[in-house]
Amino acid sequence: MAVKTPTKTTAHADTHNPVMNVTRFDHVSSWMIAAVLALGAAVVWLTVVWATNRLPAPKSAVPVEMINLSGGAEDGSPDETLQLESPEEETEDPTIAETESEETEIQEVLETVVELADQATDQAEQQFETDASNAGKPGSASGTGKRALGLGPGEGGIPREQRWFIRFADGGSLDAYAKQLAFFGIELGALRLSGKLDYISDVAAKKPKVRSATSGKGENRLYMTWRGGNRRTSDIKLFERAGSYVGQALILHFYPPKTEALLAHSEHAYKNRDAQEIRRTYFTVRPGGDGYLFVVTKQTYF
């Protein structure tokens, strides 16, 4: 009898190996990341190019105060006089050609008339700038030509208050003239016969400020007086606005150091001449920028 042994069978289920694949989402996200990185690199590169190619900011000029000092040499002569070279014959009593006079002298010499005709344009311009009539006896004088006695590294030449002529336009209104004075910080003064000095400042205001002094002690500012023109009447009206009546008092213009330095720079920049070479400098006030400017119209030299 045969015995049948049961056979043991094992069922094998179907299995799949895991598969790694790039999806469409991965493609899109990688392209976006690459585009963002490229855009960032381009921005950085353009920023570097812009920064390296920027023009440097213009350097503003530092204002330098020009100071002329007087002085001499230790071995100088106390009797020093300038040695001048002049085409005129030497005379014992020469007078300054800018001396004001109401007399008119006529020389009936043909050569003199022709010479004066050649110089008419230059004389007319100077007459316009100073508004003064010129008369005098031309001549020359000899000198020692030695160095002046004194100490210090001083320079020669004429002081600023004697070589500067400043012209304010006569045609403008009183308010426009007051704005010019206020813009440059110019303070007006009236020196009375008693010795009292009255100042007015903030002249563009409806009522300028008034102060007084009994002496000029401590007053080191550059000051000017009138040589001609019609603006002295305007100064009198400005004093009247402040409630001060000057009458025949001597009217002075006091210039602050900042304005004095501005005039000195304008004088030097006109023709780059040293101050000791300049005999006269003529300024006029004109509108410019946010206010007004001092413009050099003419210079004369030794």
Is there a domain that residue 32 lies in? no
The answer to whether residue 185 is domain-embedded is yes
Cα 249 to Cα 156, 170, 182, 199, 256: the distances in Å are 33, 21, 22, 12, 22
Q: Is residue 13 part of a domain?
A: no
CA distance 200 to 218: 17
Identify whether 127 is part of a domain: yes
* Domain encompassing residue 125: 99-135
Q: What is the mean pLDDT of residues 32-54?
A: 90
The predicted model gives 208-221 an average pLDDT of 86
153 assigned to some structural domain: no
Average pLDDT, the chain: 75
Residue 66 lies in a domain: no
Predicted pLDDT at 119 = 57
Are 131 and 165 members of one domain? no
262-273 residue pLDDT tens: 999 999 999 898
Q: Look at 81-95, 190-204, 283-297 and tell me which has the smallest mean pLDDT.
A: 81-95
Identify the weakest region by mean pLDDT among 84-88, 92-96, 147-151, 179-183. 147-151
Query: What average pLDDT does the segment 289-300 reach?
Result: 89
Taking the chain, what is the end-to-end CA distance rounded to the nearest angstrom? 159
Q: What is the pLDDT of residues 4-24, one digit of tens each?
A: 555 555 555 556 666 677 788
How many structural domains compose the chain? Answer: 2
**d(C-alpha 249, C-alpha 36), whole Å:** 83
* More confident: 131 or 244: 244
Residues 131 and 164 in one domain: no
Whole-prediction pTM: 0.51
Domain shared by 173 and 297, yes or no = yes
Percent with pLDDT over 90 in the chain:
25
